[in-house]
A and B are shown apart, each in its own frame.
Chain A
Amino acid sequence: MAVNVKPDQPEYYNHEQLTQIDYRPPAQAWESRPVTIRPGSFLHPAKPKGASSLGLPHPRQWSPMDEDWKLPADWKEIIITGMKERLEKYRSFKIFMDTCVRCGACADKCHFFIGSGDPRNMPVLRAELLRSIYRNDFTLTGRLLGTLAGGRELTVDVIKEWFAYFYQCTECRRCSVFCPFGIDTAEITMMARELLQLVGVSVNWIIEPAANCDRTGNHLGIQPHGMKDTLEFFADEIEELTGVRVNVPINKKGAEILFVTPSGDLLADPGTYTCMGYLALFHEIGLNYTWSTYASEGGNFGLFSSADLMKRLNAKIFAEARRLGVRWILGGECGHMWRVVHQYMDTMNGPADFLDVPVSPVTGTRFSHARSTKMVHIAEFTADLVKNGRLTLDASRNDRLRVTFHDSCNPARAMGLIEEPRAVLKSVCRNFFEMPEETIREKTLCCGGGAGLGAGENMEVRLRGGMARGLAVKHVRDAHGVNRLATICAIDRVTLTTVCDYWAPGVKVAGLHELVANALVMKGQKKRTHDFRHEPLDPES
């Protein structure tokens, strides 16, 4: 049967059409330009089941393609009241609403603008979608002068516009790097999404994982026996490849360290290879640690939904650390997890005064920068092992690979984790090439699919949002023969696979610890002939 390509598949989109972008501002004022919602451009609404199980308001069946979104009768009052409450609760929100001078430094820094040319994707204008309502209803000049003071009335069309554009933002904060006032545009998107959620306008790609996480401990809904089965499958695979049987400690009371990683590592390739990498590494260094089937999610889709939901999902990590009696927490290769941990966890669910300041049991290094949350990122943990010469590494096992590194937005910008993954990579790979300077480190470009945008139905948005990153990957592929992109985020591992297949075919995506595991010399190992993907180390043999 012939396969009809649909808007949720990358093949649907023609490269030339996508790259023909007109950056000239349209003559018509943005307020009067209609918002188009078409297949490929929006996310499916949250299903009532997930929204109800989380107790979210106004769960219902609705479609963005319909004229009537079935908003509650008092939707306008709900939004204005919700905005008032948030302006009072979050001083940052009020400052960000008041501060912008529209200098435009951010305008061309957003990959969604770069990939679409749509003025509403300029961060300044995306914020203006909300700011104009703020001015109209919450400032004196706006109340008196209305549109003359940059205000506009809240209408159903504004709600539709918010839905369209606050879900074309990945909360990656690249624009904030360039803002002279340091306006955190991600927090503006977060506020807009919270307001939309109050009237039952949210997306399934966020709400269903959040509901799963609330119920089973992780976004994918993996239950304890499923997690055990999966980890043992990985142990079998590692034994097949290395001859070494690794242990899989689960819910072990009295372990020194609780390990928490995104559940995507347990299901989706290529994250599964990275997950095997963690197991191999922990075995090799004799780490006294445990997995948890209760706190079985590092990620937190609550971050993309509301502060309350983020707090509720995040609470499981400290609760489990307390129950198991561990001393500190090690976190896996996740992106947005670290925005939550580094910026919100301590005040949301801390203080974690029942835990110790993390100390590496192998090197004795004290991670004093993690003294508030007691959580260490595995890239810094492993970088410390490498620096102290505690791993035997055979980098030649990765010689087939020509590697570049994608800084994931949150580890790079929300916690400054920039040198550590590079130090690890350079110790396990001999062919390492950086992408252009303006596309990496704190200026890193986006995968186009974070913050709940990683679904299929919004594929045009993802390909456009990932275009700038994809073309930077293509650049190093063509200049240096790069064939592998390493990254330390589970969303990246999945979304950048799509981005690379489309914009830079031939480049595959890998987690950092997959490459570590390839190079790791393990005690008692057999002669290694294959990498962790079961691909031969020497293609000639």
Chain B
Amino acid sequence: MAQIVVGDVTIEVDEDGFIQEPEKWNVKVAQALAETEYVNELTEGHWRLVNYLREYYQKFGVAPMIRKLCKETGMKLAEIYELFPTGPAKGACKVAGLAKPTGCV
């Protein structure tokens, strides 16, 4: 399996670049992942999304539905796409260290 190295942390990633060891996530890892999703710099808006995703993930073990993400962060879907051009499920979830949702989604 492919790996990414950030500072002194080595993390396994899957074919789509999602980290497979969520416990190794940190701010620097988020920045490195952001670059793979065409985000140069993580701004306050990015962090509002990432922090909410992590908070939800830590509580529920999965990603939230996108509508809940919008409602809780006060952001419209179009604004999320401006921040993360590859979208909330792929871009924002990857940066937040979440797994990629699979199934009827």
Contacts and interface: CB of A to CB of B under 8 A. Distances in A.
B104 A2 contact: no
B34 to A, nearest CB: 10
Interface residues of A, number: 46
Contact of B38 (A2, A61, A233, A272): A2
Interface string B23-40: 000000000000100111
A263 B66 contact: no
Given A212-B103, A267-B105, A226 B85 contact: no
A299 interface: yes
Contact of A226 (B35, B38, B62, B86): B62
A268 B1 contact: no
B60 A205 contact: no
Given A1-B38, A1-B40, A222-B60, A269 B104 contact: no
B48 interface: no
A218 B35 CA distance: 33
Nearest to A489: B104
Contacts of A266: 65
Given A61-B1, A269-B67, A491 B104 contact: yes
B61 interface: yes
Contacts of A301: 103
Contact of A219 (B15, B65, B86, B102): B102
Contact of B104 (A47, A219, A225, A457): A219
A271 B67 CA distance: 12
Interface string A372-406: 00000000000000000000000000000000000
A365 B38 CA distance: 57
A218 B61 CA distance: 13
B85 A221 contact: no
A97 interface: no
Given A223-B61, A226-B61, A3 B38 contact: yes
Contact of B102 (A209, A229, A233, A491): A209
B45 interface: no
A454 interface: yes
A455 B100 CA distance: 11
Contact of A267 (B38, B61, B86, B101): B101
26 contacts: A1-B35, A1-B38, A3-B38, A3-B85, A8-B16, A44-B14, A44-B15, A47-B20, A208-B103, A212-B102, A219-B103, A220-B62, A221-B61, A223-B60, A226-B60, A229-B60, A233-B68, A263-B103, A266-B65, A267-B65, A267-B105, A268-B104, A301-B103, A455-B102, A456-B90, A494-B105
Interface of B: 1, 14-16, 20, 35, 38-40, 59-63, 65-68, 85-86, 90, 101-105
The 9 closest A-B pairs by CB, nearest first: A264-B104, A219-B103, A226-B60, A490-B104, A209-B103, A268-B105, A1-B38, A208-B102, A3-B38
Given A1-B38, A208-B102, A212-B103, 15 more contacts: A1-B39, A1-B40, A2-B38, A61-B1, A209-B103, A220-B101, A220-B103, A221-B62, A223-B61, A233-B68, A262-B104, A267-B65, A268-B101, A272-B65, A456-B16
Interface of A: 1-4, 8, 44, 47, 61, 63, 204-205, 208-209, 212, 218-223, 225-226, 229-230, 233, 237, 262-264, 266-269, 271-272, 299, 301, 334, 454-457, 490-491, 493-494
